[in-house]
């Protein structure tokens, strides 16, 4: 049985076997770490460039959110009117999430990231121009475009991050989300400084648009590997075999096929887990500071400090908690995280003193840190189907972002903000009960149907060999070809006709 950390994503990023250089004594000492080969450099570069893009998203979003009071005052909006305008971003993300999966599957992550780049640039220009010109519609369109651009870019970023994790052979995906949190902290600081210096909104957001566009355009060529178009992945994964005919590109998948992930029970239930996590994190972002101010009669600075402790706790666990996932597995970590988060929330909601409530907030942040990264990783287990599945679970996250602010706002009017937050405990209980759904699942081999649900929380079991074809009665050879060639054909699987020449040539080798 092979441990998950020893697995390599051969479909998404085939890497030629490296030959280790001998040491001076003729062999490397036992237990010594192998020297980094030149083949590792693109992987290392992709990892850090992806982290930079996650941090950029956090930085730009938070720098804009920090200027919301100035935007409200410039347009003379009431709190209710401002809340309605801000919902445009969630509507944009929800409307685009499913389309983003189809786009990445059929056209590739590079195009999706370019569209996202253009959308973000236009969005921030409009966000700056709306208050400057006194136009609420311009502001609303700009906020809508931020949601659209985030949804389009979020799918390839998460697919590529999951691919980096598979190729590295250890858990690193939470670190990308930690980069977003770090960027958010920096962005909040930049926004606060800009507000203190009374920087015009249009000037700030024009700079944001230009710098963000340049940053993204320089980064895109270094990160797109796993989210290339299906045709490109198939043709580049087939080995060149003398005498074998050229591989036939897959026929274009219909829209219904691209939306198949919505009919997968495991994917939908992972989406529910992510929706609960997004509801927990998003509710803290929207209401935690206000709950501290109103619930304990504290100044605004104290509320901001308590919220900062929540973000700091999440960031620390995302940076350092990856070893826990490698050691204990996704299911155990998600289950324990959910319990810690639930206890922390209840302590905050019912604590009689602020220090005790602050301790509950820290526990809430510690427990909330890994749920979204674990869900994204689970949705990306099969690299060939990752884009559609990540789009599905992202749509659930958008639903949480759309529904939480108004529903909690209504509850807060009668219960108070602090006690209203306790209501999301129900979603946490659901998340804990569904934690087994994030267990690792092997990508289906050619000719083998994908499992409907994981059966174990521990190390992955060996994949079921492919059914022998007319080309060869050797199951091992058929399985090898299915891993090397990758899915082809209209239904996403290799047919015996398409594999026969490659099987024969590989057997002759």
Tokens at residue 61, please?
A: 């979003």
In this prediction, residue 444 carries a pLDDT of 58
Residues 295 and 367 in one domain: yes
d(CA 160, CA 154): 10
Tokens at residue 441, please?
A: 């699942």
| Domain assignment present for 452 | no
Residues 64 and 173 in one domain: yes
Pick from 167, 202, 227: which residue ends a domain? 227
Query: What phi and psi, each to the nearest 5 degrees, are found at residue 462?
Result: -65, 145
Residues 90 and 164 in one domain: yes
In this prediction, residue 154 carries a pLDDT of 87
Residues 96 and 176 in one domain: yes
d(CA 131, CA 199): 13
| Domain assignment present for 506 | no
Three-state DSSP state, 332: helix
Residues 212 and 345 in one domain: no
Instruction: Please report, in tens digits, the pLDDT of each residue of the chain (509 residues total).
Output: 444 443 433 333 444 444 344 443 333 334 444 445 555 788 889 899 999 999 999 899 888 877 888 888 899 888 678 778 888 888 888 888 778 888 887 888 899 999 999 999 999 999 999 999 999 999 999 999 998 999 899 888 988 888 888 888 888 989 998 999 899 888 888 888 888 888 999 999 999 999 999 999 999 998 877 666 655 544 444 444 455 444 444 444 445 555 688 889 999 999 999 999 988 888 888 788 888 888 898 887 788 788 888 988 999 999 988 899 999 999 999 999 999 999 999 999 999 999 999 999 999 999 999 999 999 999 988 888 888 888 888 888 877 876 776 677 778 878 888 998 999 999 999 999 999 999 988 775 433 444 444 444 444 433 344 343 333 344 444 444 444 444 444 334 444 444 444 444 444 44
Pick from 441, 459, 478: which residue ends a domain? 441
User: What is the domain-level CATH number for residue 269?
Assistant: 1.20.1250.20
| Domain assignment present for 257 | no
Residue 278's domain comprises 262-441
Residues 104 and 170 in one domain: yes
Residues 166 and 50 in one domain: yes
| Domain assignment present for 254 | no
Query: What phi and psi, each to the nearest 5 degrees, are found at residue 338?
Result: -65, -40
Residues 304 and 397 in one domain: yes
Residues 270 and 219 in one domain: no
| Domain assignment present for 10 | no
Tokens at residue 499, please?
A: 């594999």
Could you give the number of structural domains in the chain? 2
Pick from 173, 208, 227: which residue ends a domain? 227
Residues 211 and 285 in one domain: no
| Domain assignment present for 172 | yes
Residues 126 and 186 in one domain: yes
d(CA 147, CA 87): 10
Instruction: Give the CA dihedral 20, 23, 26, 27, nearest 10 degrees.
Output: -60
Tokens at residue 20, please?
A: 């280790």
In this prediction, residue 226 carries a pLDDT of 61
| Domain assignment present for 218 | yes
| Domain assignment present for 401 | yes
Residue 69 CB burial class (10 angstroms; 0-12, 13-18, ≥19): exposed
Residues 70 and 147 in one domain: yes
Tokens at residue 266, please?
A: 């495991």
């Amino acid at each position: 049985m092979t441990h998950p950390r020893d697995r390599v994503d051969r479909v998404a990023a085939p890497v030629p076997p490296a030959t280790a250089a001998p040491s001076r004594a003729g062999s490397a000492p036992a237990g010594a770490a192998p020297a980094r080969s030149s083949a590792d450099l693109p992987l290392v570069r992709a990892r850090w460039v992806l982290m930079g893009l996650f941090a950029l998203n956090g930085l730009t979003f938070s720098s804009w959110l920090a200027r919301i009071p100035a935007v409200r005052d410039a347009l003379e909006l009431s709190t209710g009117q401002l809340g309605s305008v801000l919902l445009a971003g969630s509507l944009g993300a929800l409307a685009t999430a499913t389309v983003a999966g189809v786009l990445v599957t059929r056209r590739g992550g590079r195009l999706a990231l370019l569209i996202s780049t253009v959308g973000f640039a236009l969005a921030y220009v409009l966000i700056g121009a709306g208050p400057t010109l006194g136009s609420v519609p311009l502001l609303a369109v700009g906020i809508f475009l931020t949601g659209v651009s985030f949804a389009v870019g979020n799918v390839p970023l998460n697919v590529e991050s999951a691919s980096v994790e598979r190729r590295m052979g250890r858990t690193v995906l939470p670190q990308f989300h930690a980069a977003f949190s770090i960027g958010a902290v920096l962005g909040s600081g930049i926004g606060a400084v800009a507000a203190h210096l009374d920087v015009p909104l249009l000037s700030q957001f024009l700079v944001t648009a230009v710098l963000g566009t340049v940053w993204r355009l320089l980064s895109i060529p270094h990160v797109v590997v796993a989210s290339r178009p299906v045709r490109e992945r198939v043709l580049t994964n087939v080995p060149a075999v003398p005498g074998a005919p050229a591989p036939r590109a897959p026929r274009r998948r219909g829209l219904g096929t691209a939306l198949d992930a919505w009919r997968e029970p495991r994917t939908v239930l992972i989406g529910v887990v992510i929706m609960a996590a997004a509801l927990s994190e998003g509710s803290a972002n929207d209401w935690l500071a206000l709950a501290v101010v109103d619930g304990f009669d504290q100044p605004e600075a104290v509320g901001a400090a308590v919220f900062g402790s929540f973000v700091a706790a999440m960031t620390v666990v995302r940076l350092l908690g990856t070893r826990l996932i490698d050691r204990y597995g996704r299911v155990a970590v998600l289950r324990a995280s959910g319990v810690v988060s639930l206890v922390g929330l209840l302590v905050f909601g019912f604590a009689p003193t602020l220090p005790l409530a602050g301790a509950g907030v820290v526990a809430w942040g510690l427990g909330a840190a890994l749920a979204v990264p674990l869900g994204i990783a689970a949705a990306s287990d099969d690299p060939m189907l990752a884009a559609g599945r990540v789009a599905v679970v992202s749509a659930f996250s958008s639903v949480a972002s759309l529904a939480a602010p108004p529903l909690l706002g209504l509850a807060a009017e009668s219960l108070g903000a602090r006690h209203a937050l306790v209501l999301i405990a129900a979603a946490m209980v659901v998340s804990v009960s569904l934690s087994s759904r994030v267990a690792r699942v092997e990508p289906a081999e050619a000719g083998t149907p994908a499992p409907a649900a994981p059966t174990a929380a521990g190390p992955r079991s060996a994949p079921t060999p492919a059914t022998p074809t007319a080309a060869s009665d050797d199951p091992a050879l058929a399985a090898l070809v299915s891993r090397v060639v990758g899915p082809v054909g209209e239904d996403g699987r290799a047919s015996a006709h398409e594999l026969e020449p490659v099987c024969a040539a590989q057997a002759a080798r």
